[in-house]
A and B are shown apart, each in its own frame.
Chain A
Amino acid sequence: MRRRPGIGGLQTAAAARDQYRLVGENVAKIRTDMMKEQLATFRTQLEEFARKHKNDIRKNPAFRSQFHKMCAKVGVDPLASNKGFWAELLGIGDFYYELGVQIVEICLATRPHNGGLINLQELCILLRQRKSDREAVSEDDCLRAISKLKVLGSGFEVISVGKKKLVRSVPTELNKDHNEILELAQAQGFVTVEEVERRLSWTSGRAIDALDTLLDEGLAMIDDGHRDRKRRYWFPCVSSNSTPVADT
């Protein structure tokens, strides 16, 4: 718009600015409205999709995982409540609820052996053994069920140690030293005091302290039977299925 000199020109400029601002706000509003509409449409389409593919969602873990991702993108949480459209349509709430109960059972049953820390892989294997005739269970499913379990309070957390994920079902807090030992143990399923000292550059006192705590918490077991006479600390939670290959 061509500027005109003088007061008249100034007023025009101000009016022009106002107009631009209004248009700008309108545009923003239109964009938001459009987005809301798009989102609503998307949600409806998602519901349609869920209806049509209900069986696939129940039976196929990969499909289920993708479905969850789609839901997350539009801000829908099918697990948010056990009632309501999603839960009723898909019965998905029940699926994860049942899974959660089984996870708790397995964790309790294996606790005397592994001290309350179990490898996520092993947990899934044990779950699949129970559900052999029904729907398949993926690690993704386990993680979702566990995140719902956290609501129960103490324990039930997934921690990462090195490349593996461990499910913790006891309130035992693992500090950084413990974590490092667990990570070290992943290679062979066990560590020796000397190995901990050497690989982590710790003093003997620090190594023994950490190992003793892990022993007391039931997360480690001692093994004095090797012919080299060195005590080994084994960690059931990092061995898969606790049937490790013999170390020679």
Chain B
Amino acid sequence: MQKLGDFKLPHFFNYPPYFTLQPVRDTREKQVQLWKDLILDYCRTQKIFVIGLEEDFALFSNPVIERSLSHEAREAFLSALVSEGRAEWLDKGHRKCLILWHRVQDWADIIFRFVKDNGLEDSVMTVEEIRSGIESRGTELHGIDRTILMRALRVLEQKGKLAIFKGTSADDEGVKFSM
């Protein structure tokens, strides 16, 4: 099986026709499903949160078989993820896509457990500390995309589990947990 770094690529990635958008409906559905799963899997294992359609994303081409996904194909597969709530367009031009390999609610649950596991129920942290502080190391929160983190925090804020406030420096916001 071909690998991309540590990641094992599925068989279809080496079959040229899968790099062309299929015209026949049933075949297309199967194709889209395979690509959706691959994109989510890959992003989750490589901790990739944003895909730029015009950039060199590793999955968009396979040099071994000399095939690349057209812009139309890239947009089709990512749009399918957006439809399912597993991704969001960051711009109207559909050039950048935020990948939710964990849904926002899942991230909120992860933050909740993180706070409990580290005994931070009544403490205060900056947003940056949550994603890169010592406690975050070795957890899924480490290196999380800020946009996604803020969304998840706001979900918890709505449930009264924490409060977000502006920090003293212009840079960072803080979070007061009350779980």
A232 sits at the interface (CB 8 A): yes
Interface-located stretch among A6-14, A80-88, A201-209, A219-227: A219-227
Closest to A215 in B: B24
The range of chain A's interface size is 20 to 34
B15 sits at the interface (CB 8 A): yes
CB of A187, distance to nearest CB on chain B (Å): 15
User: Contacts A222-B23, A242-B12 given: A112-B30 contact, CB under 8 Å?
Assistant: yes
* Complex contact B68–A244 (CB within 8 A): no
A216 sits at the interface (CB 8 A): yes
Per the bound structure, the CA–CA distance linking A247 and B30 in Å amounts to: 24
CB of A245, distance to nearest CB on chain B (Å): 9
Interface residues in B105-156 (C-beta closer than 8 Å to A): none
Residue among B17, B26, B29, B64 making CB contact with A223, cutoff 8 Å:
B17
A151 sits at the interface (CB 8 A): no
Residue among A215, A227, A232, A247 making CB contact with B23, cutoff 8 Å:
A215
Per the bound structure, the CA–CA distance linking A247 and B16 in Å amounts to: 9
A132 sits at the interface (CB 8 A): no
User: Contacts A112-B26, A113-B30, A215-B23 given: A248-B14 contact, CB under 8 Å?
Assistant: no
CB of B99, distance to nearest CB on chain A (Å): 24
* Chain B residue contacts of A115, Cβ below 8 A: 27
Mask, B48-63, CB within 8 Å of A = 1, is 0000000000000000
Per the bound structure, the CA–CA distance linking A225 and B20 in Å amounts to: 7
Per the bound structure, the CA–CA distance linking A226 and B20 in Å amounts to: 10
* Complex contact B27–A224 (CB within 8 A): no
* Chain A residue contacts of B68, Cβ below 8 A: 225
Residue among B14, B17, B30 making CB contact with A222, cutoff 8 Å:
B17
A1 sits at the interface (CB 8 A): no
User: Contacts A218-B26, A221-B27 given: A248-B17 contact, CB under 8 Å?
Assistant: no
Per the bound structure, the CA–CA distance linking A243 and B12 in Å amounts to: 8
Residue among A112, A223, A247 making CB contact with B20, cutoff 8 Å:
A223
Residue among B11, B16, B66 making CB contact with A234, cutoff 8 Å:
B16
Binding site for B on A (CB under 8 A): 112-113, 115, 190, 215-216, 218, 221-227, 232, 234, 236, 239, 241-244, 246-248
